[in-house]
Chains A and B, each alone.
Chain A
Amino acid sequence: MTRLRQLYQDVILDHNENPRNFGDLEDANCEAHGDNPLCGDEYVVSAKLTDDGEVESVAFSGEGCAISKAAASMMTQHVEELSREETEKLVNEFRDMLTDDLDLEEDDHDLGHLKVFESVASRPERIKCAVLPWHTLLAALEGKESISTEGEADPKAEVE
């Protein structure tokens, strides 16, 4: 598989074309807006949490590139029924995979199918695209209204 096809794998293209859990979540009890002001990608991630803080369901809406949209779509599937702590752990693992701070073979992780985003690490300028929906979800869980890639949520700023 060429490096390009690794980045744009069929599963990513499929989620871009047919994003899952796309739209509004009617009974959401938290929501955040995330944007990348450098490229204009914008998403709203909404979640319904159970009384004991478990993620019951997540939906997203907005507009962006194939990488960010597929990342958002697959994220909504992966975090269902995770506790808040498990979700935060997954966000960190996902980010660490992209910034080469996680060894998929050696280190423990629960990334599963999310490993298809591994090759984004070879395109540093696209890391923010993949991480944006995840940081937006985190913001929603933390009760923040919005986040931006050009601030605390800059994946590279955090690892430095």
Chain B
Amino acid sequence: MTTLNVQHADETDEMRSWSEIRSDFPTLDQTIQGEPLTYLDNAASSQMPEPVIERIDRYQRHEHSNVHRGVHTLSQTATDAYEGAREAVAEFIGAPTPKQCIFTRGATEAANLVAQSWGRANLESGDEILLTRMEHHSNIVPWQQIADETGAEIRVLPVTDDGELRLDQLEEMLTDRTKILGVVHVSNALGTINPVEEIVERAHARDVPVLVDGCQATPHLSVDVDAMDADFYAFSGHKMNGPTGIGVLYGKEAWLEEMPPYQGGGEMIRSVTFEETTYADLPNKFEAGTPAIMPAIGLGAAVEYLTSIGMDRIAEREAELLDYATELLEAEEGVRIFGRADDKASVLSFDLEDIHPHDIGTIVDTHGVAIRAGHHCTQPLMDRLEIPATARASFSYYNTREDADRLVEAIEHVREIF
């Protein structure tokens, strides 16, 4: 792999400027309603740079075939590209081996896989599933479904007014009945970066495995699943400059070996008779049917692109943008910012007097400013904060200070109208 060399590129004179990097993203170069697009909805989905688009284009034009089964050359080419993407992803998150990275449809399917496969094999009536109040619905609903089936119960670790986990209550929430802990690495609604290493360590001290939802972490931070010691780690391709329709479930090998398949079909079998089927080895056991080959290869290209910039450099850039935008928004009369964690990713959730976030979203859109308005699939968290919804601006490394300036100008216009 060449990525290791590239990772140190930021220490050399050849470091690409942020404006050069921004020009890699064709979507950003357009006007919306006559205004330059200010894309601040990165936590919902991020844009795709040329190298990823080109890689997808090349695959689809020259390399496409079905993977794994073919005896012909093109099938081997496609298989090499697909498995190469798995290797790139594994390296990106520090997975000990690529086979521990299962390609899924997205983080949602990854969470469902754990809940259905691990959950059905390991949960019984009276067991407890510990989640946190700031989970995305995708790390709540799959557990509710399996809890209904098995009779297990869901318990919820609270959050503070500032949007941090009440880790002081973790000890008492981890009971003898706790069978698994689900925790979000970075909150999509508030930006809070949770100390997952510490949480995993404390859960493991009680023999409780941990599923970390890493959707908002992998695009913004250097993630090392092995150092973190997570049992499962889930994330989505389209949040990190890759395509939609692809995500990853990382799992510890012992768990993945022991877990039953999630879905049945082709690709995941070793042999089939009507009497008995034996399953394939990892990772194929969990990848029934023809996988999302092109999106996986796109994700592989995306992690190589991120690595070429350097995740530490990205985190630094986004922290700087967050500080700048936070300061600007704080100075705006009537703006209330939600999520005041000490350790925070570049998400700014706010409201403005009693103006509904949807009205804010519509009005700033006429300035070309794309933000999200709503509950961000975190209704329990919104209930905790006693708000129906927030407006959310989420920054990526390709955003600029000018983007933050335009956001604030647009917000001032909202106030003028109301």
Contacts and interface: CB of A to CB of B under 8 A. Distances in A.
Interface residues of B, number: 17
Contact of A65 (B359, B366, B375, B379): B359
Given A4-B417, A63-B388, A123 B358 contact: no
B355 interface: yes
Contacts of A67: 358-359
Contacts of A2: 366
A132 to B, nearest CB: 12
Interface of B: 355-359, 362-363, 366, 373-375, 379, 382, 388-389, 417-418
A70 B247 CA distance: 41
Contacts of B374: 38-40
Given A40-B388, A65-B358, A126-B358, 9 more contacts: A5-B417, A7-B362, A39-B373, A40-B374, A40-B382, A40-B389, A41-B358, A69-B356, A125-B362
Contact of A39 (B366, B389, B417): B389
A67 B355 CA distance: 11
Nearest to B363: A4
Contacts of B379: 40
Nearest to A4: B366
Contacts of B359: 8, 65-67
A113 interface: no
B383 to A, nearest CB: 10
A127 interface: no
Contacts of A129: 358
A78 B202 CA distance: 61
Contacts of B382: 40
Interface string A118-141: 000001011001000000000000
A13 B362 CA distance: 14
B355 to A, nearest CB: 7
Contacts of B417: 4-5, 8, 13
Given A13-B418, A65-B356, A40 B362 contact: no
A123 B379 CA distance: 25
A25 B379 CA distance: 29
Contacts of B389: 39-40
Nearest to A8: B417
Interface string A67-94: 1010000000000000000000000000
Interface in A3-21: 3-5, 7-8, 13
Nearest to A63: B388
Contacts of A7: 362
Contacts of A69: 356
A126 B366 CA distance: 14
Across the A-B interface, give the 7 residue pairs with the lowest CB-CB distance, nearest first. Answer: A65-B356, A65-B358, A66-B359, A40-B388, A4-B366, A65-B359, A39-B374
Which of B357, B362, B417, B418 gathers most chain A CB within 10 Å?
Answer: B362
Which of A3, A5, A39, A41 gathers most chain B CB within 10 Å?
Answer: A39
Contact of A123 (B357, B362, B373, B388): B362
Which of A4, A5, A125 gathers most chain B CB within 10 Å?
Answer: A4
Nearest to A126: B362
5 contacts: A13-B418, A40-B388, A65-B356, A66-B359, A126-B362
A30 to B, nearest CB: 26
A8 B355 CA distance: 12
Contacts of A3: 366
A41 B379 CA distance: 13
A66 B366 CA distance: 17
A5 B418 CA distance: 11
A123 to B, nearest CB: 6
Nearest to A3: B366
Nearest to B33: A3
A9 to B, nearest CB: 10
B90 to A, nearest CB: 36
Nearest to B365: A123
A2 B382 CA distance: 34
B351 to A, nearest CB: 12
Contacts of B357: 65
Contacts of B363: 4, 8
B378 to A, nearest CB: 11
Contacts of A40: 374-375, 379, 382, 388-389
B418 A39 contact: no
Contacts of A4: 363, 366, 417
Which of B355, B359, B382, B389 gathers most chain A CB within 10 Å?
Answer: B359
A7 to B, nearest CB: 7
B358 A39 contact: yes
Nearest to B367: A4
A73 to B, nearest CB: 14
Contacts of A38: 374
B158 to A, nearest CB: 21
A69 B356 CA distance: 10
Nearest to A123: B362
Given A8-B363, A123-B362, A66 B355 contact: yes
A125 B365 CA distance: 12
Interface in A99-154: 123, 125-126, 129
B226 to A, nearest CB: 38
